Chain A
Amino acid sequence: MIPAAFEYHRPDTVEDAVKLISDLGDEARVVAGGHSLIPMMKLRLTGLSHLVDLQGIGGLDNISISNGTVTIGAMTTQHELIVHSGLATTAPIIAEAALQIADPQVRYMGTIGGNVANGDPGNDMPGLMQCLDATYTLVGPNGERSVKARDFYEAAYFTAREEDEILTSISFESGGGGYAYEKQKRKIGDYATAAAGVLVKISDGKCSAASIALTNLADTPIYCEAGVAALLGSSPDADAVTAAVKASVDAADPSEDNRGPAEFKKHAAGVVIRRAIERAIERA
């Protein structure tokens, strides 16, 4: 499996990389870990004549945590997310989700930036970032801008990123509390049949903050507003959990594929959402 010919570039700075992709136009693609893009190139499902490798740019793989604000460079690999001790205490849901992505070899190469920017509905990080209410930083020819993860995804592989922009980092406020990322998959390495990320805070016996987001249950990740509303202010007892599960499943819009018909996926969604909510409450 040999991809079509292309020219390889390894710029040293974000500015040089942005200049390359804006000069070369839609013939150019950036590559981070390459574990989504290279398989597509090998299958000749994507046509490009210039590959702009971001590995030579310094500082894109930093993780910084200060006053509860977590900032993760786009080139940070899933492996680095899993072994980072600061993240393990500040936002343990990140490693819990990253450990469920692909297999060890893929996690050494696959990056958080590539995972969120690609727009593949099967990727886990977009749903997780919506759950965390993360913000993406994009750099283009006219400078830098921020886009909320909850506003970023338009359709499968279509995002708010312009062709000449590069996603350079991700940041979010870590609020603590209970968390869980639950994923149902057919085997190691597969995308989710259904997956859900949940954050819950409980104070004085009441749910004071919550977030629920879904992976691979529509052509974009889904932030479940109605599911969250069902939990907020509740004790949260079995009725509140059931209402939140129902509202979240209603927000899912899966399509049939080799992982099963839409009905089955909605059933699997109900199971993983319930597990995620219950585990997050346990940990809150």
Chain B
Amino acid sequence: MEKMHLKMKVNGEDVETLAEPRELLIHVLRERLNITGPHIGCETSHCGACTIDMDGKSVKSCTVFAAQASGADITTIEGLGNPDSLHVLQEMFKEHHGLQCGFCTPGMITRAYRLLKENPDPTEEEVRFGMAGNLCRCTGYQNIVKAILAAAAEMNAAKEAAQ
């Protein structure tokens, strides 16, 4: 099948690539664009390890063709922070031991990022409901939820201080 010329914005940069229509977005991100933060876990839309932020939505990139994402604005874990300057969520995951093996973490943090954008001051129940599309096979949910609540508090405190 002839390759398509795809253009999208990834982590603030305009990127172009060639891909077959049947290539999933997760494959194009990882294998063609070398963005390996989003992981392939179950590859059946259940686990959420491949979660990215696309046009303001949390999306499982194993269940979208890259062709569908042509023209989209995408943020992955790489776009949220880096080792020299961690995102608040990354810091709080570190602080509260919100990861054990770390495999689900990029998806967890990318999903939590959108959750807190939409609901900056969630209850514990709202965090659990909002994170229901992400699985942690170490079952470290308690600390993941703690980390997200701490990040929300931290972000709200920073916002208040700025006012």
Q: Answer whether residue B10 sits at the interface, using C-beta atoms and an 8 A cutoff.
A: no
Q: Answer whether residue B32 sits at the interface, using C-beta atoms and an 8 A cutoff.
A: no
In the complex with contacts A39-B44, A104-B130, A5-B64 CB distance below 8 A: no
Q: Answer whether residue B48 sits at the interface, using C-beta atoms and an 8 A cutoff.
A: yes
Most A CB within 10 A of own CB, among B60, B63, B67, B115: B63
Most B CB within 10 A of own CB, among A3, A53, A105: A105
Q: Answer whether residue B161 sits at the interface, using C-beta atoms and an 8 A cutoff.
A: no
Q: Answer whether residue B68 sits at the interface, using C-beta atoms and an 8 A cutoff.
A: yes
Q: Is B21's CB under 8 angstroms from A5's CB?
A: yes
Separation in Å of the A79 CB from the closest CB of chain B?
A: 7
Which residues in A have their C-beta under 8 angstroms from that of B23? 2
Pick the contact of B133 from A3, A39, A103 — CB < 8 Å?
A103
Q: Is B21's CB under 8 angstroms from A104's CB?
A: no
Which residues in A have their C-beta under 8 angstroms from that of B63? 34-35, 38-39, 106, 109
Which residues in B have their C-beta under 8 angstroms from that of A22? none
What mask results when residues 105 to 144 of chain A are scored 1 for a CB within 8 Å of chain B, else 0? Answer: 1101100000000000000000000000000000000000
CA A105 to CA B59, docked complex, whole Å? 5
Q: Answer whether residue A42 sits at the interface, using C-beta atoms and an 8 A cutoff.
A: yes
CA A5 to CA B21, docked complex, whole Å? 7
Q: Answer whether residue B143 sits at the interface, using C-beta atoms and an 8 A cutoff.
A: no
Pick the contact of B111 from A6, A10, A42, A105 — CB < 8 Å?
A105
Q: Is B1's CB under 8 angstroms from A7's CB?
A: yes
Interface residues of B in 48-76 (CB under 8 A from A): 48, 51, 57-60, 62-65, 67-68, 70
Pick the contact of A5 from B22, B48, B60, B111 — CB < 8 Å?
B22
Q: Answer whether residue A4 sits at the interface, using C-beta atoms and an 8 A cutoff.
A: yes
Separation in Å of the A248 CB from the closest CB of chain B?
A: 29
Number of B residues near A (Cβ < 8 Å) is 31
Q: Is B44's CB under 8 angstroms from A1's CB?
A: yes
Interface residues of A in 53-107 (CB under 8 A from B): 53, 55, 79, 102-106
In the complex with contacts A1-B43, A104-B130, A51-B21 CB distance below 8 A: yes
In the complex with contacts A105-B51, A108-B59, A34-B68 CB distance below 8 A: yes
Q: Answer whether residue B11 sits at the interface, using C-beta atoms and an 8 A cutoff.
A: no
CA A113 to CA B62, docked complex, whole Å? 22
Pick the contact of B22 from A4, A39, A106 — CB < 8 Å?
A4
What residue of chain B has the Cβ atom nearest to residue A3's Cβ? B22
Interface residues of B in 109-130 (CB under 8 A from A): 111, 115, 130
In the complex with contacts A5-B22, A6-B22, A105-B58 CB distance below 8 A: yes
Q: Is B59's CB under 8 angstroms from A189's CB?
A: no
Pick the contact of A106 from B24, B60, B67, B70 — CB < 8 Å?
B60
Separation in Å of the A102 CB from the closest CB of chain B?
A: 8
24 pairs from A and B in contact (CB 8 Å cutoff):
A1-B44, A2-B23, A5-B20, A6-B21, A8-B4, A8-B21, A34-B64, A34-B65, A34-B68, A38-B64, A39-B45, A51-B21, A55-B68, A102-B133, A104-B131, A104-B133, A105-B45, A105-B48, A105-B133, A108-B57, A108-B58, A109-B57, A109-B59, A188-B132
Closest 4 CB pairs of A and B: A103-B133, A8-B21, A108-B57, A5-B1
* Given A105-B48, A105-B59: 19 more A-B contacts, CB < 8 Å: A2-B27, A3-B22, A5-B21, A6-B1, A6-B21, A7-B21, A8-B4, A10-B70, A34-B63, A34-B65, A38-B63, A39-B45, A51-B65, A79-B57, A103-B132, A104-B133, A108-B57, A188-B133, A189-B132
